Amino acid sequence: MKHMSRVASRSLVWALLATVVGSAFADVPLASSDADRRAKQAVPQTGKALLYVYRKQDGDDTISALTLNGKEVARLEPQTFGLWNVDAGRMEIRADGKTLALEGEAGRIYFVEVTRSTAGGVALRQVSYATGRTQTHQARLVGAASATSDKAPAKKSAPASKTSTSSTPSIRTSASAR
């Protein structure tokens, strides 16, 4: 009986240690409350489009690595979003093996939803302005530390689509911009 108790204790210690270590690496850094508020009111910079990519509460806590035009720009967990001012032209958004290509127009705001199923499947889809605005207002902006760089490369097939990937770009705000 003592042997089983010792084995159970060791198993419990290892399980707790794995949980603590795993959760320490699983968290995505979030932006400040002020940056989050400004991001939710952002309008595109002159000559640019604004791209929001968000993940709502979807039942899967796995972090999704997000790439824009081939470069990792953020990591999203449920209830988080990223925001980028991008040049007009082709944008390629990729999360966990799924890709969505959009044609961006200067002055427009685009919303893309990343969804993970509990079975591990991933879906990307462009959503309406109203849906995207509502969902991002319920989420938190990821911090700059979740991005790997300040610049994402232009898509090779579309040289006009250079992208600024700052998580908190210099933001102009307006409640009525679309």
Q: Mean pLDDT, consecutive 10-residue segments, the chain of 178 residues? A: 49 38 58 94 94 90 91 93 95 94 96 88 94 96 55 37 38 40
45 vs 99: CA distance, rounded Å: 25
53 vs 136: CA distance, rounded Å: 9
The confidence score (pLDDT) of residue 24 equals: 36
The confidence score (pLDDT) of residue 164 equals: 41
- Residue reference for tokens 């850094």: 29
Maximum distance among all alpha carbons in the chain?
73
Amino acid at 154: A
The confidence score (pLDDT) of residue 170 equals: 37
